[in-house]
Amino acid sequence: MNFQTKTLDWAQAANLSVDALLVLVPEKARVPSSAKDPLSQMARQALAAGDLSAAAKTLSAYRLAGVKAPRVVFAFVSDVSAAVLRQAVASAMAAIKQPGVKHLGVVTSLMGKPELAALQPIMLALGDATYSYTETKPSAKARELNKVTLGLSHAPAAQLAFEQAWATVRGVELAKEWANRPGNHATPSCLAEVAKALGRPAGFSTEVLGPKEVAKLGMGAFMAVAQGSAEPLRFIVLRYNGAARTQAPVVLVGKGITFDTGGISIKPAGEMDEMKFDMGGAASVLGVFEALAHSRPKLNVVGLIPSCENMPDGLAVKPGDVVTSMSGQTIEVLNTDAEGRLILCDALSYAKRFKPHSVIDVATLTGACVIALGAVRSGLFSGDDALAQAISQAGERSHDLCWRMPLDDAYAEGLKSNFADMGNIAGRAAGSITAAKFLQKFTADMRWAHLDIAGTAWRSGAAKGSTGRPVPLLHQYLLDVASGQAKLA
C-alpha cells in the first residue's frame, strides 16, 4: 500500500478523485458557518444533530452531491490520542472496505496542531485494517486498497513526520508477515534469506553464521536449544551504517525461536500452534531494519538474531543437563521450555564485541509477563535509568507502550544451582523478572534493556495474528538516538 500527502482543505477534498473518502471530525471541531462546501455542511449539521458523536461514531454517505468520491465516511474523534484515532479509523474502514476501493482519501484538516502526531496512528490503523495474510492461504482475498492520499492542512510541514511514519508502517507490515507464517514456512534458514534480501537494496550488510561458526564461537547455550531439531540453526547479523564508523552502534537482539514445542519439557497441545509466534522478537528486528532502509537516520545499528527450533527428539537437551555459554558461565537447564533466554544470553555476549551505545533484546519470553501486563504494554527491564527512560519515552511517542518492571538483586536468588553457575529458571513467582535477571548476568559493562513482548507480539482468538510490535517503539528509539533526544550520558 502506497501513501502520499497533499495539502487539502475540505472544499478541495470534495474534488479529490478517489474511490472513497474518510473525513476525521474532532469533537471540538469548529466548522465555519460560512463554509459552503458539501463536506463542511454535512459535518456541521451532523455534529449539531448528534449524528456524529461518542454514541454515533461514524456516518456514511453515498454519492453525496458536490463530492467526487462515491463513498464518504465521517468518523467522530473524541480526542486526538493514538488509541482514539486508531479506533476511529478501524470503525470507518469497516464501512469503507468494499469491492473496488483501491484509492482512499483521508482528510485530517480540522485537527490543528496535533495533525503531525496523528499521522503514524492513522497510517498504522489503515495498514492494520487492510492487511491480509495470503502466503499459505490462496483462498484469502488480497488487499485491494493500494493507494492512500492523506489530505493535510499543510503537507510540506509534515514531510519528515510522514516519511518516518511510513517507514514504521513498512517495518510493522514486514514483522507481521513473517511472524504470521507457519513454522515450516519461516524456518531459521528462511529468516536468514529475508535478512539478506532486506540488506541488498538498502545498502546494509548481512552475515549469516551456521552451526560450525556458532560452535567455533562457543555458543553452547544456543547450540543446546537447537540440537533437538533437524532444522539447522542460524545466527543472523545485520549492520546498518548511517553514521561514522567510529560511532558506537545500537544493538538490537531478537529472539528467533521459529517454533517452540517446549522441548523435552513439552507444552500442552492447546494453542501450541501459536508458538510459531515465538520468533516475534526476531520479526521485530527484521521489521526495524526494513524501517531503517526508508527512514535512513544518522546512526549505526546492529541486529542480532539467534534462530532455531526447540524440538523434543532423541538428541534434545534434557532437564538437568549443564551447558557452557559463550561467556564461559555454565547453566543448568532445569526446564527446556525456558529456551529463549538460552539463545539470547549467547547473543548478548556476542553483542559486546561491538562496544555498543546501548543494547536492547526483544523476546516473547514469559507467560508471566502476559499475566502481569496483558496485551496493552510490553515489559521493560533495565538497570540503567537513563536508557529505561529513553525507551519508555519512545514508547509514549510511538504509541507502542511499555512498562518498566523491577530488577532488584534479590530476584536472582532463585537462579542459584548446585551443579552450575546458575539455573535457567527460578520459581513461578515473578517469572518475567527472574528471566530478566538471568539475561542481566550476560550484560556486564553494557547499557542493556530487555523487552518482554509475550503479551503484545500477537493476538489470539478470532483475530489471531501478529501485531508487529514493538517495531514502532524500537524505530522511534533509534530516531531519538539519531536526533539527540535520547540522552543516556
pLDDT in tens, 45-79: 898 898 988 888 999 999 999 999 999 999 999 88
Quick check: is 163 in a domain?
Answer: no
pLDDT tens for each residue of 289-313: 999 999 999 999 999 999 999 999 9
Name residue 465's beta-bridge partners: 459
Average pLDDT over residues 347-369: 98
Confidence of residue 489 (pLDDT cuts 50, 70, 90): low
Band of residue 359 on the pLDDT scale cut at 50, 70, 90: very high
| Residue-level pLDDT at 115 | 77
Number of domains in the chain: 2
Between residues 411 and 37, which one has the greater pLDDT? 411
The CA–CA distances, whole Å, from 373 to 358, 367, 382 equal 25, 10, 17
pLDDT (tens digit, 9 = 90+) per residue, 76-109?
A: 998 888 999 999 999 999 889 888 899 999 998 7
> Is position 374 within any domain?
yes
Q: Which three cell numbers stand for residue 229?
A: 531439531
Are the CB atoms for 38 and 68 separated by under 8 Å?
A: no
Residue 160 lies in a domain: no
Residues 142 and 197 in one domain: no
pLDDT of residue 35: 73
Q: Is 469 assigned a catalytic role?
A: no
105, 126, 152: which is the final residue of a domain? 152
Q: Are residues 252 and 303 in the same domain?
A: yes
What CATH number should be reported for the domain holding residue 138? 3.40.220.10
Take residue 114 and report the three cell numbers written for it: 496535533
- Based on the domain organization, do 273 and 403 belong to the same domain? yes
Q: What is the CATH number of the domain that holds 272?
A: 3.40.630.10
Q: Is 267 a catalytic residue?
A: yes
Q: What is the residue-wise DSSP string for 190-204?
A: HHHHHHHHHHHHHT-
Q: Are residues 271 and 346 in the same domain?
A: yes
What pairing do the DSSP bridges indicate for beta strands 458-459 and 358-363? unpaired
Element (H, E) at 316: none
User: How is residue 317 written as a grid cell?
Assistant: 537437551
Reported as a single tens digit per residue, the pLDDT across 268-279 is: 999 999 999 999
**Residues 148 and 173 reside in one and the same domain:** no
The residue among 223, 197, 228, 221 whose CA lies nearest residue 209 is 223
Flag whether pLDDT at 175 surpasses 90.
yes
Comparing 200-204, 266-270, 351-355, the range with the smallest average pLDDT is: 200-204
Cis peptide before 156 (omega within 30 of 0): no
Note whether residue 157 is domain-resident: no
Residues 206 and 337 placed together within one structural domain of the fold: yes
Structure confidence at residue 87 (pLDDT)? 93
Question: Same domain for 172 and 134?
Answer: no
- Which of 85, 118, 152 finishes a domain? 152
pLDDT band at 32 (very low <50, low <70, confident <90, very high): low
Greatest C-alpha distance within the chain: 81
Burial 324-359 (b: 16+ CB within 10 A, else e): bbbbebbbbbbebbbbbbbbbbbbbbbbbebebbbb
Q: Over the stretch 375-390, which tens digit does the pLDDT of each residue have?
A: 999 999 999 999 999 9
Q: Cell numbers at residue 53, please?
A: 458523536
Q: Report pLDDT digits (tens) over 442-458.
A: 999 999 999 999 999 99
359 against 155, higher pLDDT: 359
489 part of a folded domain: no
Question: 380, 391 in Cβ contact below 8 A?
Answer: yes
The pLDDT of residue 124:
97
Write down which residue in 152, 184, 211 finishes a domain.
Answer: 152
> Pick the catalytic residue: 97, 147, 267, 459?
267
Average confidence score pLDDT of the chain: 94
**Options 341, 377, 447, 469, the catalytic residue:** 341
The kind and range of the H/E element at 185 are none
Q: Are residues 261 and 347 in the same domain?
A: yes
Q: Which residues pair with 2 in a beta bridge?
A: 147
Q: Which domain holds residue 138?
A: 2-152
